[in-house]
Each structure stands twice: as C-alpha cells, then as structure tokens.
Amino acid sequence: MIDRPDRAMVVTPHPDDAEIGCGGTVARWIREGARVLYVLCTNGDKGSGDLDMTSERLAEIREREQAEAAETLGVEEVIYLRHPDGGLEDTSEFRGQLVRAIRRFRPQIALCPDPFRTSFYLHRDHRICGQVTMDAVFPYARDRLHYPEHEAEGLEPYKVADVLFWGAETPDTYVDVSDTIQAKIDALKKHTSQLGDNDPSEVDEFIRGHARRSGERADVPYAEAFRRVQIHG
Ligand SMILES: [Zn+2]
C-alpha cells in the first residue's frame, strides 16, 4: 500500500489507458483531497477499425472522450501533447514536455505504463511512454542544467518521490479501489469509440474481474496493482 499524495501526475500513451491502468486510484485519491494532472501523449488517431473513420476525426473524438473521462474522475487538468498514435518517440522534445509538466505541477507520484515486460509484447507507445516518463523523473526534472530554459520561466527543478507502473508483471504495490471501482468503469465508458460492439456489461465484468484478482492479493474486494520505483525519499 502507498500513502495518498497531495499531487499525482498520470502519463498516459493513449486516451483510455489511464482509466484502465489507474482510474480507481485516481478517483480515490481525488475523493480524499489529492490534485491530479493527466498528460496524454498521443492523440489516439489510429484506434479504430471503422472503414468510414479518418484519423483527423478520430483524434477529435478521442480528445473529447478523454476530457469527459477525466472530468468524471475529477482530474484537474489534461495536457494534450498530440503526438501521433504509434508515433511516440524517445526524443529530447517529448522528454522536455514531461519535465516541464513535472516542474510545473510538482507531483509526489508519477503513474505510467510499465515499459519493462518480458512475457507479453508491449505496444511501442506504451513502452516509450513508460521509459521516457521514468527518464523525465530521474534525472532530468531533478537537475537544473537539463532544460535550463525552464528556469527562466520560473520553473524550479523537482524531485518526484515515486513512480507507479501499471500493467506490471511483478506488482508489489496495491491501492484499494473498492469504493471507486464504479467511478473507474463510468470513466472508461466515456471512451465510446473504443467500446465497439462490446456489451457494456462485459466491460463492467472485465474491469471488475481484473480488480478482483488484484484485490485477492491485497486482501480487499477490488484493487489496482502497480510496481513501485522509489526514487527520492
Ligand atoms: Zn494504449
């Protein structure tokens, strides 16, 4: 278990990943008084099999869906970086965008996908999102001579205490989301374009089943599971 932070930053590769990965945790922490920032890395403009859909229209739809999902959870702000879906790269520009967000919002905890998995192939954007978030936290946001232009804007170096990776093969940290599992499901259902022909009750059961299995390991009805990397105590 991990204490509720005052401020948390969620870095999500695509619209809907954050809700699946940590929506219950976000809802719980916000209910308990935390402030949460989302950074959405890509515009999700490839996530449709609809033959009539265009990337341009899809990006607009998915940005709106993400805004509604974040609002449902009480997220304070969403930063839209709008990199192309499937086109996230480990560049100085992307890393600098995350460093700027960290120095501005000053979160104690950053949450993102676990980039290090061996038994399951990971979407490239998820791998790069997790890896660059970790790099931005340590050492880039900490050291003032990285992205020195931030200092001129009044942004000081900042030490994030912990990174929580969702989707980890070996989770070691659990958040009890028994009181916010419904909020997670409600937020996820705002991503209408991604639900396709799925029966809404199947979405419920998928999410509850997963959280129940994590809950068994934490001895609570429903939990979200993470791998925790402690960086600055
Ligand atoms: Zn994704």
- Sequence-separated (6 or more) residues with CB below 8 Å from residue 196: 49
- Sequence-separated (6 or more) residues with CB below 8 Å from residue 197: none
The model carries a pTM of 0.97
| CATH number of residue 107's parent domain | 3.40.50.10320
d(CA 42, ligand 1 centre) in Å: 9
d(CA 154, ligand 1 centre) in Å: 33
In a domain? residue 157 = yes
Asked whether the beta carbons of 84 and 136 are under 8 A apart, the reply is no
- Position 200 scores a pLDDT of 80
If you write DSSP's letter for every residue of 163-200 in order, what string do you get?
Answer: EEEES-SS--EEEE-TTTHHHHHHHHTT-HHHHTT--H
Q: How many domains does the chain have?
A: 1
d(CA 21, ligand 1 centre) in Å: 10
Residues 203-232 have pLDDT tens digits of 999 999 999 999 999 999 999 999 999 998
d(CA 68, ligand 1 centre) in Å: 17
- Position 144 scores a pLDDT of 95
pLDDT above 80 for 21: yes
d(CA 222, ligand 1 centre) in Å: 23
d(CA 1, ligand 1 centre) in Å: 26
d(CA 31, ligand 1 centre) in Å: 26
d(CA 13, ligand 1 centre) in Å: 5
Across 166-194, average pLDDT: 96
In a domain? residue 1 = no
In a domain? residue 187 = yes
In a domain? residue 2 = no
In a domain? residue 93 = yes
d(CA 17, ligand 1 centre) in Å: 5
d(CA 86, ligand 1 centre) in Å: 9
| Better-predicted residue by pLDDT, 200 or 25 | 25
- Position 98 scores a pLDDT of 98
Residues 72-112 have pLDDT tens digits of 999 999 999 999 999 999 999 999 999 999 999 999 999 99
Structural domain containing residue 56: 7-230
Confidence of residue 146 (pLDDT cuts 50, 70, 90): very high
Q: Quote the mean pLDDT of the chain.
A: 96
d(CA 113, ligand 1 centre) in Å: 9
What gap in Å lies between CA 26 and CA 74, rounded to an integer?
8
